Structure 1
Amino acid sequence: MFSPLQHFLMAAERFMTQTPWPIITLMILAIAWAGSRSVKVVLGCLPTLLAIGYLDMWDDTMRTISMILVCTILSIAIGIPIGILMSRSDRVQRVINPLLDVMQTMPSFVYLIPVVMLLGIGRVPGLIAVVIYAIPPMIRLTNLGIRLVDKDVLEAADAFGSSSWQKLRKVQLPLALPTIMAGINQTIMMALAMVVIASMIGVQGLGQPVLKAIANQYFTLGIFNGLAIVGIAIIFDRVSQAYGHRLQKHREVVHG
């Protein structure tokens, strides 16, 4: 049942670890520029990536990035439709909100127990645990973004004879995009936090050296790998935030 997930994760990991480092670095810098259009952000990414490579943490970092990438894609694919469903129906929102509250307040270690009981130890169980932990902001902010769309805009769309699907696709989702981007940003941050904990059940990446450092009291190993995680988090955060701000400005210009 979960073999497509495993293939997707393995393909992402293979691509990130086997592609030569200059190509991956250029790709990340190009994505950073496309998202932020800021030279500062791009220049901040470069020394972080070079330091990770110089300190021999490149492979683990690429495994972590591939894991975050797959988790984020899955969270978007599952979270946006649920968020749309919640925005359409107050009853659905009343049912799903308590579940999201439980998901967000549950200690992250507890997620590992049912996943390990049902699926054992390995990458896919780890991936599922990370997605469950990271998805609530995606669902909440999609719902919020669509609900905050101006009623006058929706009335105008109705006056032009838009169907509910056209209204969703061409009015509500584009206008809710800055809020949805904030949800994606939060999902990435939560996925990064969970990846370290998921290393306890076999998720490869920067979490495993941290775990090893805790078990054996290797201070330097733990600090360096911890800083690498912080470095990736800052890159993801700055790029996605800058993209969200650009969308916000674009929306204000369109409204103006």
Structure 2
Amino acid sequence: MDIPKLPLGKALEWLENWLTTYCGPLFDFIATIIGGMVSAIEGALTFLPALVLIVLIAALSYWIGKWRMALFAVIGLLLIDNLGLWGPSMQSLALVLTASILAVVIGVPIGILCAQRNAVRNTVTPILDFMQTMPAFVYLLPAVSFFSLGVVPGVIASIIFAIPPTIRLTNLGIRQVSEELVEAADAFGSTPTQKLVKLQLPIALPTIMAGVNQTIMLSLSMVVISSMIGAQGVGAYVYRAVSQAKTGDGFEAGIAIVIIAILLDRLTQNALKPKQR
């Protein structure tokens, strides 16, 4: 007995066409906002000469971390500039920062709601499981359908792919706050907002920052994949090298991505250490 195939694909395509037809102005507005953010961040990164920006990043690395991190920043960024990949690297960094900022702005409030409401957590958790197990390439399809080719669908796909760690670890960090401290805050008459801002978030901040760190790393990996739909940056060099079988060019672009990833990872990991000490 043959079981009829469920029209899941057709239903999804119908929903996609419906959203494209009736929500076009909303998508145009979102595209304008995201495109403006990417342009502004890229303009800020490329406004200063490369050597000046390298010095500033090295100073930030020394202030946040140690002299070894500053030395790595100088050597790594000078290597990127020497390879002629400074401009594309700044484009990729602008995409990563835009996707990460939006993912944190959206993800932290959702994580707070999950921590405060079990019903919200039980609803959001299966969605996050679905988002984290779905192949990354699948996110490119609806992004292209709603926002065409270019930078914006790449950022949208990166946000969807990278936001789960921020939501999960925000929820986890707030739920791990000691019940005795929460009861003490209640006993002193703290409002829910005061309890959240002055107690729960400061204690949960290291855990939240771990989620932000993972979000940044996932955004960087997705930005490289997004080069397939027209997103510019170092990922476009990797994609071109793969399609043309140019191993050397692909290796150079890969080195640039690795340097950026290590810098972002170390900076976000060490951002709270001076405050904790």
Q: Under TM normalisation by the shorter chain, which class is it? A: over 0.9
CA apart distance, 1:117: 1.5
- Runs of 4+ displaced beyond 6 Å: none
1:33 corresponds in structure 2 to: 62
Which residue among 63, 70, 76 is the counterpart of 2:91? Answer: 63
In 2, Cα distance between the equivalents of 1:51 and 1:13? 20
Q: CA shift at 1:70, angstroms?
A: 1.0
Query: What RMSD over aligned residues (CA atoms) do the two structures have, in Å?
Result: 1.2
Q: Which amino acid aligns with 1:160?
A: F
Matched, 1:218 2:246: yes
Is there any run of 5+ residues in structure 2 with no aligned partner, and where? 1-28
1:254 aligned partner: none
* Distance (whole Å) between structure 2 residues aligned to residue 229 and residue 204 of structure 1: 13
State how 1:70-219 maps to structure 2 within 5 Å.
70-219=98-247
Worse-matched range after superposition: 99-108 or 9-18: 9-18
Aligned residues: 248
Gaps of at least 5 residues in structure 1 are: 251-256
Distance 2:63 2:229 in 1: 35
Task: Write out per-residue CA displacement over residues 166-191 of structure 1, whole angstroms, 9 at most, x where no aligned residue.
Answer: 00000000000000010011001101
Distance across 2 between alignment mates of 1:108 and 1:35: 32
Match of 1:253 in 2: none
- Larger C-alpha radius of gyration, 1 or 2? 2
TM-score when scaled to structure 1?
0.93
Q: State the distance in 1 between where 2:132 and 2:201 align.
A: 25
Matched letter for residue 204 of structure 2 = A
Q: Tell me which residue corresponds to 1:6.
A: 35
Deviation at 1:246, TM superposition (A): 4.8
Q: C-alpha displacement at 1:245, in angstroms?
A: 4.7
Q: Secondary structure, in 3 states, of the residue corresponding to 2:270?
A: helix
Residue 229 of structure 1 pairs with residue 257 of structure 2: yes
